[in-house]
Amino acid sequence: MGLFGKRKSRTTRRAEARAIKTRAKLEAKLAAKNEARRIKSALRAEAQALKAQLKAQRDSDRAALKAAEAELKAVREGKLLSPTRIRRALTVSRLLAPIVMPVVYRAAMAARGLIDQRRADRLGVPLAQIGQFSGHGARLSARVAGAEQSLRAVQDKNPKDAETKQFVAAVSERLTDLSAAITAAENMPAARRRAAHSAISKQLDGIDADVMARLGLA
């Protein structure tokens, strides 16, 4: 017996090589068949899924079409507000009212507060006093109130001065007359009301200038 055993003959080696090559070809062919079968199965599954999706869409479209036709028929027959619909709407509204109403109320109050604040800024008065001024002459009424407040400051500045007292009394009387004129202008036609407001505003400009001078601000 030799050291490495008996060597295979050339014929045997060739036969084994052919067998290995044939086996590799068969395995590759089998793998290709399996891959083709897998791809075919995947395509079949995708086709079925697409078919099912199209069928569902078609059924949905048919249902929507029937609903639209029924709605149109109800409108034509004057049965849009049927007893069933009314009962359903009332039920839904009763269920949602405890949730929706507080939200709506808070939103309305916030909007009202914002509107009042903007109006107060426009009139030049504190927000707490906004309810005192209304109507077309609200801004002029706010100016009269501001002038009266400034006039009190003039009086407090020189409470014992006779000339200051006479000035305060005279201006107070003018402000009272202007306030009455603003009230009377509310019922005037628009053109006359605008003319009256313009005249009142000019008089208030003069009063403001006199008061500011008394306070040493002019």
Q: Which residues have C-beta within 8 Å of that of residue 82, sequence separation ≥ 6? A: 74
| 127 within domain boundaries | no
Whether residue 87 is contained in a domain is answered as no
User: What pLDDT score does 1 carry?
Assistant: 45
45 located within any domain: yes
* Location of structure tokens 């009266």: 148
Q: Which two tokens stand for residue 103?
A: 């939200």
The domain of 32 spans 17-80
Its sign, for the CA torsion 185, 197, 143, 162, is: negative
The residue written with tokens 């069933």 in the block is 84
Nearest to 149 by CA among 127, 124, 181, 182: 124
Distance, in Å, from the CA atom of 146 to the CA atom of 125, rounded to the nearest integer, reads 8
Could you write out the three-class secondary structure of 57-118?
HHHHHHHHHHHHHHHHHHHHCCCCCCHHHHHHHHHHHHHHHHHHHHHHHHHHHHHHHHHHHH
The number of distinct structural domains making up the chain is 2
What is the CA 104 to chain-centroid distance, rounded? 13
pTM (predicted TM-score): 0.44
Residue 138 and residue 206 in one domain: yes
Q: Please say which residue of 80, 95, 115 terminates a domain.
A: 80
Q: Is residue 39 part of a domain?
A: yes
Decide which of 158 and 71 is more confident.
158
Helix axes 138-157, 83-123, angle to 10 degrees: 40
Same domain, 143 and 209: yes
CA atoms of 144 and 157, how far apart (whole Å):
20
102 inside domain: no
Does a structural domain hold residue 186?
yes
Please check whether residue 60 lies inside any domain of the structure: yes
pLDDT in tens, 137-168: 888 888 888 888 888 888 888 888 888 889 98
Computed over every residue of the chain, the mean pLDDT equals 76
Q: Are residues 70 and 139 in the same domain?
A: no
Q: Say if 5 falls within a structural domain.
A: no
Q: Quick one: pLDDT band at residue 136, thresholds 50, 70, 90?
A: confident
Give me 62's structure tokens: 């048919």
